[in-house]
Structure 1
């Protein structure tokens, strides 16, 4: 472990309100191959038994990767994201593709709590953005948004069982997507159970330094919070192939269903 204490860093709790500008968003738009989206949608439709025309909430939806793909498969989709740039991109891409999802700018907890959705998806490791009080509020909102018997998929790469085995503080890594190069490293705040990811995005003469913060929860804790929010039949997988999650797997896909009336 490094001698640096990441708890000294002044990373605001709402860091995500400023992080997702054009350069980071464009990097992630390029970074995910189309076949990954297809396999994720296959998993979502299969595990949640989605029928054609299902009403689906995608929150947060980012630049609309899943929102547009679900819409293209015939579902009635509402996407919610706090990044205006990402939402504008999603709307433009939908128009180009002839799709008509509803995509709105809002914080992830600001979702309709009217029980009108057959399913909700929270993809892209967004769950860890929220500290415990915020997470409880978000899961409660999801429980109110989804109809009894409806389903939920959560994509989370900051589970304690994923992050901590073999963790090396400050290990550098470089990733390129076209002409965008990203240098990053992670530090772990033991006192706060937080993962701080520092990034430097470079595209030509453009350079952006930014830090993301993910709260680290155990799977048992997430299961308890989901149950408290009215979910049952909670299962955990290591990826869209449906393989069971094991300690050290880098990705967790949780599925759950809203308690039937």
Structure 2
């Protein structure tokens, strides 16, 4: 069983949520509405949706959201939030690699928050092909990551730590495995007397490799940006926002 099947619960899940910036999320939602050309009534797929920080505001603007995530805690939180607000959100708690998507159904799809780097190369190719089949012809897809090779490797850090809200401390011991193309990270979360440690594999792709895989999955890459202002991505940029259209 892959590490991400059991990672997103308890302290790591709470730390991830607290680390998100609400104002930046609002900007990302505006970006998604713009580049994905989302209109009221459109069917939109949020892959690895988490607790719905993008899905809920998109649904509030009139889109019909289908959200898939493997974390039962996140899915329960998202279902409850959508129910309270009476928003058009369908939540699917499943592994994105094995879930059978309805074909040619969605007007747009997105995967934000570093999630696609969970997968080794054969699985990522299948992941992209699944999304492509679910989209209508001409449908738009966007992904975001901070784990691109051009972002991570020039200033690779073997160790790092940072404080998170609610007195949570995050520490990581990182080793890059060049033959396999992933970072093996021992991540520790500490809050008071509680301590949780996971070993995580983050698979690292070059931009050219990622574009090649998208093309093989039936997409045409139409934009690679360093930020939501759509500045072109360059070596050393921290973020990648990629936009593609299903052929």
Scaled to the shorter chain, the TM-score interval is: over 0.9
Note if contact 2:163-2:170 (Cα within 8 Å) is conserved in structure 1: yes
Partner of 1:103: 91
Matching residue of 1:240: 228
User: What is the correspondence of 1:98-177 to structure 2 with a 5 Å cutoff?
Assistant: 98-109=86-97, 110-168=99-157, 170-177=158-165
- Structure 1 segments unaligned to the other structure (5+ residues): 1-11
Matches of 1:97 and 1:203, distance apart in 2: 32
1:67 aligns with 2:48: no
User: Which residue of structure 1 aligns with residue 10 of structure 2?
Assistant: 22
**SS of equivalent to 2:39:** coil
SS at match of 1:65: coil
- Of 225-234 and 122-131, more deviation after overlay is shown by 225-234
What are the equivalent positions in structure 2 for 1:178-193 lying under 5 Å apart? Answer: 178-193=166-181
From 189, 200, 204, give the equivalent of 1:212. Answer: 200
Distance in 2, Cα, partners of 1:61 & 1:175: 24
2:21 and 2:150 mapped to 1: Cα distance? 26
1:56-103, Cα deviation, whole Å (9 max, x unpaired): 100111111112121112110000001111111111222233323001
Deviation for aligned residue 1:198: 2.3
Q: 1:91 pairs with 73, 79, 82, which one?
A: 79
**What does residue range 244-259 of structure 1 map to in structure 2 within 5 Å?**
244-259=232-247
Q: C-alpha deviations, 1:161-209, integer Å up to 9, x for none?
A: 11111223x2222221223222223221122110123221122221101
**Conserved in 1, the CA contact under 8 Å of 2:224 and 2:242?**
yes
| Aligned pair partner of 1:34 in 22, 38, 45 | 22
Deviation at 1:111, TM superposition (A): 4.4
Q: Show the 5 A alignment for 1:38-53.
A: 38-53=26-41
- Matched position secondary structure for 1:50: coil
Aligned partner of 1:7 in structure 2 is: none
- 8 Å Cα contact 1:111-1:145 kept in structure 2: no
For residues 9-67 of structure 1, the C-alpha deviation after alignment (integer angstroms, 9 at most, x for no partner) is xxx6x110011112211111111121111111111111121112211100111111112
Alpha-carbon distance in 1 for matches of 2:204, 2:226: 17
| TM-score of the aligned structures, taking structure 2 as reference length | 0.94
| Structure 2 unmatched runs, 5+ | none
Q: What's the RMSD between the two structures over aligned residues?
A: 1.4
d(CA) in 2 for partners of 1:176, 1:58: 26
Question: How many corresponding residue pairs?
Answer: 246
Counterparts of 1:180 and 1:100, CA distance in 2? 34
Structure 2: distance between partners of 1:136 and 1:31: 29
Q: Distance in 2 between matches of 1:255 and 1:153?
A: 5
